[in-house]
Amino acid sequence: MTELSGLQIFKYLPAAKKAEHTNCKTCGSPTCMAFALKLAKKQTDIEKCPYAPDALKQIYIQSSKQPQKTVEINGVKIGGENVLYRHEKTFINKTAIAIIIDMAKSDWQKKYQQIKDFEITRVNEKIKVDLIITKNGTLSDTISYEDFKKLPLTEIIDENFNETSEKLINIRKKAILEKDEKYSNPAYVYFNHTDNLKLLCAKASFYICKYANMLVFEDFDETLITSLMTIRQNIFTDPQKPLQVESKIYEFNNPDENSLIFMTTNFALTFFAVANELESLPVPSYLIVIPAEGMSVLTAWSAEKFTAKIVANTLKKFDFANKVKNHKIIIPGLLAHMKDELEEEIKDFEIIVGTIEAFAISDFVKNLKINQE
Ligand code: SF4
C-alpha cells in the first residue's frame, strides 16, 4: 500500500461525514482538512485526533511502514526505496556496484589497484566503484565476504535473465505495494564469471532499471563498469532536481572578440551536449549559459525561465557586449520564435537561429562560414 494522501485521510475524519466534532481543533489543527494534510506529510500524529476511526488508524499505520530497509555498507547506503517509478517521487539510493577480490589469487593486488584507480567524471559527478568485497582476507577499506553475507540483504544469483528480472520485480512490488516485511531487505544480483561482456552489460543495465539495489561482480572490467555507471547516473537523478551547471560564459578553443557566440540553458545534459560539440569545432567560440533552474530549452521557455529579459540581464551581468566585437548570438533552433523578441530586448546583438540538435552544430558552423565568405 502506497502512502495515503491528505484527501484519502480526510474522507475518514468527522468533517467529511459532517459528523459531531467536525473541525473541533482538539488535534491542534484549525480544521479536519488541515489535520489530514499534516498527517499525510507526517507532520503530526494520528493519535492527536481522538475521533479518528480505527479503520483510518489501521490503514495509516500500514501505509506509513517503511517498505524497504536501508542498509549501510562501508559508508555506502542501499535500499530505502519508497516508489516503483522515479516520477512518482524519486529513487533514494542508487544501485551500488561491488567487485569481489579473492586474496588467495596471485593477482589480487593488481585487481585491487585497478579498482582503486578507476574514476570517471560525468555531468560534474566523480564516479568510482562503490564497494570491494574480499574473500580469503580483509583490507581496511573493504568488507570481507563473510561479513557481507551476514547483512540483511536478499541475494539473487544471476543464472537466467527472465528468472532474475522476475525475482527483482516481484521483490520490489511486494515491498512497495504490499509493504510485506518478508521482502523488505534490499536485493542484490550476483554475477558469476563470464566472458560475454555484451550480454552481461545488457542484463546488468536492465537490473539497474528494475530493481537491483546492488550488483556484485566477480570480475572488474573498466568498460563494463563505465557503461553501467553511466546508465545508473541517468536513472538515479532526482526528477524534482534537474542537474544543472553554473550560469556563466564558457569559452572553447581560446576565443577572442570575433569568435562565434552560442547560447543555451543551464540544464546539464543540454549544456554538455552543446559543449562537447563546441569543443570539437575547428573554430573558437563562447557559450552563454542562461540561469533556467536546470530546465531544458523548451521547458525553460514555457516556464518563463528563458525570457528576453533574463537573457538581457545575463549579458549585462557579464558585461558581454563590451567584451566582444562579434555581436551575433546563435540561439537554439527550438527558440526560433524568440528571435524578434530577443532582438527587441537586446539591441546590441543580432540573433541567429541555430540548430535544434547539438550534433548538427558542426555542419551549421560550416554553412555559416561559407555564407559569410
Ligand atoms: Fe477534526 Fe479530529 Fe482535528 Fe477535531 S481533532 S479538528 S475531528 S481532525
Closest protein CA for atom 2 of ligand 1: 49
| Range from 87-91, 160-164, 196-200, 224-228 carrying the lowest mean pLDDT | 87-91
Distance 44 CA to ligand 1 centre (A): 12
250-261 burial by CB neighbour count: b if 16+ within 10 A, else e?
bebeebeeebbb
Residue 178 scores a pLDDT above 90: no
Q: What is the tens place of the pLDDT at every residue in 70-88?
A: 999 999 999 999 889 888 7
Closest protein CA for atom 3 of ligand 1: 27
Give the whole-number percent of the chain exceeding pLDDT 90.
82
| pLDDT, position 86 | 82
Q: How many CB atoms lie within 10 A of CB 6?
A: 15
| pLDDT, position 175 | 94
| pLDDT, position 372 | 61
Same fold, 70-236 and 249-372: no
Higher-pLDDT residue of 359, 370: 359
| pLDDT, position 2 | 66
**Residue 266 β-bridge partners:** none
| pLDDT, position 289 | 97
Distance 19 CA to ligand 1 centre (A): 11
Mutate to test the pocket of ligand 1, among 11, 12, 23 (most ligand atoms within 8 A of CB): 23
Residue 341 scores a pLDDT above 70: yes
Q: Cell for 2? A: 502506497
Distance 10 CA to ligand 1 centre (A): 10
CA 155 to chain centre: 25
Distance 17 CA to ligand 1 centre (A): 12
Top CATH class of 249-372 equals alpha beta
Q: 113: exposed, middle or buried (C-beta count within 10 Å: 0-12, 13-18, 19+)? A: exposed
Q: How far is it, in rounded angstroms, from Cα 96 to Cα 208?
A: 9
Nearest-CA neighbor of 98 among 229, 209, 199, 206? 229
| Range from 8-22, 145-159, 239-253, 308-322 carrying the lowest mean pLDDT | 239-253
Provide the residue ranges of all domains of the chain, joining segments of one domain with +: 6-64, 70-236, 249-372
| pLDDT, position 240 | 72
Give CATH for domain 6-64: 1.10.15.40
Please give the single-letter amino acid code of residue 163.
E
Which band of pLDDT confidence, cut at 50, 70 and 90, is reported for residue 201?
A: very high
Q: How far is it, in rounded angstroms, from Cα 225 to Cα 143?
A: 20
Residue 301 scores a pLDDT above 90: yes
Per-chain mean pLDDT for the chain: 93
Nearest-atom index, ligand 1, CA of 26: 5
| pLDDT, position 371 | 57
Q: Cell for 36? A: 489530514
Closest protein CA for atom 8 of ligand 1: 32
Q: Could you give the residue ranges of the DSSP H alpha helices within 252-338?
A: 268-279, 297-302, 308-317
Residue 303 scores a pLDDT above 60: yes
The superfamily in CATH containing domain 70-236 is: Dihydropteroate synthase-like (3.20.20.20)
